[in-house]
Structure 1
């Protein structure tokens, strides 16, 4: 099993998501990885990733904070690293707003209030333009 997703071209491989040794594959039963802390209206989860983890330089301190603000679920990411290294955190949560009895989510509608977005090519890699 691997969490590496990307686009292969004749000259490059663009890594979109971690490796088979990524944070999502750590043995959660044998070690505490994400440390939870209660915050007003939610929870903050923290992780310390050692220098060289997944082949990336620097010790990285990562946190993600989930809070409910009125009717909005806010997700805030923060990462600090001891060396220059690429980082691009994201969230892959899926919600069934119809509850457990709902068979599917096909009638859900999502609205994202954004001033701009990044168009992607046919391999889902951003084109470099802002629309």
Structure 2
């Protein structure tokens, strides 16, 4: 871990979450965390923070599925009870939402998980052989 990671890891949780949502470097909150839509940059273009520590795995996808499912099921139930539209309207509306919403949320969730890894200095699990 770099020195800048050790120095700035004590920032408030809200600041860390916002920088992750915006795709900003978790260390300086100014540089870019991503090269493309979901491709992680090798390092920050402002402070030089190396992003080798970052491994979000399937975490963002799981959270996006849970949040998207909660929103769609709740909204579809509400619309059905209040308006009672035909089933084809449900299929078009909620099918479209089910495709668009995860695409909108995935980058933010990935950024937040990586920023939280940085703040909490999370590392890959290791066995303690000294015991």
TM-score, normalisation: structure 1: 0.25
Structure whose residues are more often helix by fraction: 2
